[in-house]
């Protein structure tokens, strides 16, 4: 039996996302065999086994909950108190594993660095368990240099194939569906370039406010939390060149190369925009001014909405602006990829059809639904020319995004892992945005909570 050791087991990420994701993975992919589940934290046990039980019950119906995989995992779930930055204590934790361990670091970057230093010490002694896999949750480092140093350290601990850099957006239904949509439809792939595409937007706006997470969010902000990894990873999968094969390695490599070719749009004076919500009403609830939320330091200038315009410097995408945007407390939330095609005015068309309009392809990030906005009707139809939306759901994914993360971990699928150099490139692009913060090109704007489009407020 494999062993999953979750470091940071008492944290919000573990209880809210990791454990439910694990439940869906076990029920779908390992219904007859579970994993040995060990939670690890620096403090005393806050009810890890009970939290795992609640998470599994929320994620699975009664029939799937009774499957051997989920049931046995819960029956054996336990907690260890340890300082994972201490080599002796971390070695003791690893020694508790009954099978090949996956050590999942769901920790603050500073603690990740300490834990990896302890692992390096154990590796030098030859004291790491055989078959061990190391999973590192984002954020991967705190800037480009620290990400590079962390990569170098990881290379001294384990072979690259045994290292998983986690970004659950790679497990989002909309991102998972991109390869089939692009390369399974010749009519799309033949138009997937700057000649035919005018603009791309990757958006993750949500109604949620701070939700009591000031200790994490106020030192991070929207750009670092969402754009530096999540939306850039989605962009990489969406815009990468056609690979020779649809293998996980090829997808991972192609995505990383695409991100490395991207940078802020130097020709757009509004390429960087940031804002912070003030008091307002969204989703039927009143939200206080972000600066007055408990635990927030108003002087930090943390943004709750960020919008970057980047360009990908390759022949395929020359001249196409790519908008990456994400915000909290937005009144009209969108979580989608929107690809706007050119109207192709050079094409012959009968007079009387009015101005040509390009089609728009929309892909729901969370549900994977595909929507195609086209022109229909005609000058002789009673309704005239009009825009219609052709849409199709793709069926509910059996795995949550974190369930897909665990599939990538336990089944060794590189397509569900962040490529080694991609975090460094994400920090490079974020550094370009922060330079605009500091030199006054992107002053901190405000928008009332519930605003439909903070960029236009």
Residue that wins the pLDDT comparison between 394 and 235 = 235
Residue 112 binned pLDDT confidence (cut-offs 50, 70, 90): very high
pLDDT of residue 376: 86
pLDDT of residue 440: 95
Residue 418 binned pLDDT confidence (cut-offs 50, 70, 90): very high
Q: How far apart are CA 303 and CA 218, in angstroms?
A: 8
pLDDT tens digits, 44-89: 998 999 999 999 999 999 999 999 999 999 999 999 999 999 999 9
For the cut 90, the answer to whether the pLDDT of residue 349 exceeds it is: no
* Alpha-carbon distances, residue 309 vs 98, 202, 269, 413, 435 (angstroms): 49, 10, 10, 31, 14
Instruction: Specify which residues 23 forms β-bridges with.
Output: none
DSSP codes of every residue in 36-84: EEEEEESS---SHHHHHHHHHHHHS-HHHHTSHHHHHHHHT-EEEE--T
pLDDT tens digits, 27-53: 999 999 999 999 999 999 989 999 999
Domains, the chain: 3-166 (3.40.50.720), 170-456 (3.30.360.10)
pLDDT tens digits, 245-261: 989 999 999 999 999 99
Is the entire prediction scored with pTM above 0.85? Answer: yes
pLDDT tens digits, 142-171: 999 999 999 999 999 999 999 999 999 999
pLDDT mean over 394-407: 92
Read off the DSSP letter of residue 210.
Answer: -
pLDDT of residue 385: 79
For the cut 70, the answer to whether the pLDDT of residue 437 exceeds it is: yes
pLDDT of residue 162: 98
For the cut 90, the answer to whether the pLDDT of residue 240 exceeds it is: yes
């Amino acid at each position: 039996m494999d062993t999953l050791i979750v470091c940071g087991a008492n944290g919000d990420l573990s209880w809210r996302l990791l454990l439910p994701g694990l439940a869906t993975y076990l029920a779908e992919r390992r219904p007859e065999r579970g994993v040995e589940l060990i939670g690890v934290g620096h403090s005393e046990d806050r009810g890890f086994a009970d939290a795992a039980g609640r998470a599994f019950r929320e994620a699975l119906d009664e029939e799937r909950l009774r499957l051997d995989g989920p049931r046995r995992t819960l029956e054996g779930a336990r907690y260890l108190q340890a300082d994972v930055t201490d080599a002796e204590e971390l070695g003791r934790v690893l020694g508790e594993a009954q099978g090949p361990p996956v050590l999942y670091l769901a920790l603050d970057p500073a603690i990740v660095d300490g834990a990896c230093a302890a692992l390096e010490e154990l590796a030098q002694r030859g004291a790491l368990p055989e078959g061990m896999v190391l999973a590192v949750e984002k954020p991967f480092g705190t800037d480009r240099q620290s990400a590079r140093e962390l990569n170098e350290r990881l290379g001294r601990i384990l072979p690259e194939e045994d290292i998983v850099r986690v970004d659950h957006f790679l497990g989002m239904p909309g991102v998972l569906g991109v390869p089939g949509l692009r390369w399974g439809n010749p009519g799309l792939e033949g138009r997937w370039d700057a000649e035919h595409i005018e603009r791309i937007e990757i958006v993750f706006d949500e109604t949620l406010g701070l939700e009591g997470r000031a200790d994490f969010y106020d030192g991070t902000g929207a750009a670092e939390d969402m754009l530096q990894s999540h939306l850039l990873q989605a962009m990489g999968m969406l815009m990468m060149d056609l690979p020779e094969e649809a293998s996980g390695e090829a997808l991972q490599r192609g995505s990383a190369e695409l991100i490395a070719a991207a940078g802020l749009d130097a020709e757009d004076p509004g390429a960087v925009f940031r804002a912070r919500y003030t008091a307002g009403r969204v989703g039927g609830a009143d939200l206080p001014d972000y600066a007055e939320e408990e635990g927030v330091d108003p002087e930090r200038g943390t943004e709750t909405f960020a919008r970057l315009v980047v360009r990908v410097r390759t022949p395929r995408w020359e001249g196409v602006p790519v908008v990456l945007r994400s915000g909290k407390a937005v009144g009209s939330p969108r979580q989608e990829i929107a690809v706007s095609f050119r109207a192709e005015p050079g094409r012959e068309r009968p007079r009387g059809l009015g101005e040509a309009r390009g089609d728009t392809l929309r892909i729901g990030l969370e549900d994977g639904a595909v929507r195609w906005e086209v022109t229909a009707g005609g000058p002789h139809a009673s309704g005239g020319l009009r825009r219609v939306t052709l849409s199709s759901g793709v069926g509910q994914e059996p795995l949550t995004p974190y369930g897909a993360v665990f599939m990538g971990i336990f089944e060794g699928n590189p397509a569900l892992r962040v490529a080694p150099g991609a975090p460094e490139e994400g920090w490079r692009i974020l550094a370009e945005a922060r330079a605009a913060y500091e030199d006054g090109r992107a002053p901190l704007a405000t928008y009332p909570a519930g605003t439909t489009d903070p960029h236009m407020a």
